[in-house]
């Protein structure tokens, strides 16, 4: 099985003392590549530093909606420079709207989101989207602001079937996390995941958050190795061969992030 953890936060300080071991475990579980996602200037810079230490680690840069109040022109310019000067930067984000906790006012979130959509477009980078409880506003902005050629993934999807089809109609990928494996919390998601076209699926851990079952019973901290459990559950729910589905999802991730195939990776 060949796996790509398409969204994790191994820049988090909880990995500072054992990151090498974390990466070793990921390789032992078939995780051939990971993408470390930036949520502000500091985490984007740390993600780039991590990518310089490990093979097949890629990054994104961006400002999370929680931090939109800090989304100044200076910060965006610094992130732009990161993207222009570091080959490991393959995407912009995570960016979007989060009206659940409202750590930043709606006006600031929307302005920050629109600015990042424009900047990613100029840099020709795919986007990593975050949406929570935006009551349709996220979709409205996506549909009205930008070209149809824009590429992106709705990270950690946990919305409705209707929302999922709207994102698919816009051409976006759907990112599936360990929520899928959790008995009650993932019940609805499991009912709609078979409806996602195979060529629009990505898997992710969102580590250190959202630890999947069965690791959730023993480990509070999630890590890239556990994305294997997400894939195994995804294949079971969809009634597909796990190795074949994993290979297809790996290819999807390379396609989205414009990452060339490494001859060192197996064919499946």
* Domain at 211, CATH number: 3.20.20.140
d(CA 182, CA 244): 23
Looking at the chain, how many residues does it have?
Answer: 268
d(CA 238, CA 72): 43
Q: Is residue 266 part of a domain?
A: no
Whether residue 94 is annotated as binding a ligand: the answer is: yes
Q: Is residue 264 part of a domain?
A: no
CA dist 51 → 88, 89, 237 (Å): 7, 9, 33
| Maximum distance among all Cα pairs of the chain, rounded to whole angstroms | 48
User: pTM for this structure?
Assistant: 0.96
Token reading at 56? 């097949």
Q: Which domain holds residue 158?
A: 3-257
Closest CA to 249 of 215, 201, 210: 201
Whether residue 206 is annotated as binding a ligand: the answer is: yes
Q: If DSSP codes are grouped into helix, strand and coil, which group holds residue 77?
A: helix
Residue 267 has pLDDT above 70, yes or no: no
d(CA 1, CA 230): 13
Q: Is residue 55 part of a domain?
A: yes
Q: Is residue 54 part of a domain?
A: yes
Q: Is residue 13 part of a domain?
A: yes
Q: Is residue 182 part of a domain?
A: yes
Token reading at 261? 């195939």
Crossing angle of helices 161-169 and 137-144, in 10° steps, is: 10
Residues 140, 207, 224, 8, CA torsion sign:
positive
Residue 98 has pLDDT above 90, yes or no: yes
State mean pLDDT over 111-134: 95
Q: Is residue 225 part of a domain?
A: yes
State mean pLDDT over 240-252: 97
Count of domains observed in the chain = 1
> β-pairing, 152-154 with 173-176?
parallel
Burial class (CB in 10 A: 0-12, 13-18, 19+), 142: buried
Whether residue 131 is annotated as binding a ligand: the answer is: no
Residue 144's pLDDT band, with cuts at 50, 70 and 90, is confident
Q: Is residue 31 part of a domain?
A: yes
d(CA 154, CA 95): 10
d(CA 52, CA 58): 9
- Tens-place pLDDT, residues 5-15: 999 999 999 99
Q: Please give the mean pLDDT across all residues of the chain.
A: 95
- Tens-place pLDDT, residues 154-184: 999 999 999 999 999 999 999 999 999 999 9
Whether residue 87 is annotated as binding a ligand: the answer is: no
Whether residue 155 is annotated as binding a ligand: the answer is: yes
Extended strands (E) in 158-240:
173-176, 201-203
Q: Which residues contact 205 (CB under 8 A, 6 or more apart)?
A: 5, 7, 8, 177, 178, 212, 222, 223, 224, 226, 227, 230
């Amino acid at each position: 099985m060949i796996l790509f953890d398409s969204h994790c936060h191994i820049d988090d300080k909880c990995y500072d003392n054992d990151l090498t071991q974390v990466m070793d475990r990921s390789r032992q579980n078939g995780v051939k590549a990971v993408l470390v996602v930036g949520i502000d200037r500091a985490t984007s810079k740390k993600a780039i530093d991590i990518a310089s230490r490990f093979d097949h680690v890629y990054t994104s840069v961006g400002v999370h909606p929680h931090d939109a109040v800090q989304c100044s022109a200076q910060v965006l310019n610094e992130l732009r420079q990161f993207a222009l000067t570091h080959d490991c930067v393959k995407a912009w984000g995570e960016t979007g709207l989060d009206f659940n906790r409202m750590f930043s006012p709606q006006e600031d979130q929307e302005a920050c989101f629109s600015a990042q959509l424009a900047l990613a477009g100029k840099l020709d980078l795919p986007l990593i989207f975050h949406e929570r409880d935006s009551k349709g506003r996220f979709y409205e902005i996506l549909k009205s602001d930008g070209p149809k050629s824009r590429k992106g993934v709705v990270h950690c999807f946990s919305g409705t079937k209707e929302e999922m089809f709207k994102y698919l109609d816009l051409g976006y990928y759907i990112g599936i996390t360990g929520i899928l494996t959790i008995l009650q919390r993932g019940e609805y998601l499991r009912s709609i995941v078979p409806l996602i076209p195979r060529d629009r699926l990505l898997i992710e851990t969102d580590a250190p958050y959202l630890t999947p079952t069965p690791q959730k019973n023993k480990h509070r901290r999630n890590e890239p190795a556990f994305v294997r459990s997400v894939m195994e559950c995804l294949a079971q729910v969809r009634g597909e061969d796990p190795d074949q589905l994993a290979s297809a999802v790996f290819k999807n991730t390379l396609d989205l992030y414009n990452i060339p195939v490494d001859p060192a990776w197996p064919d499946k």
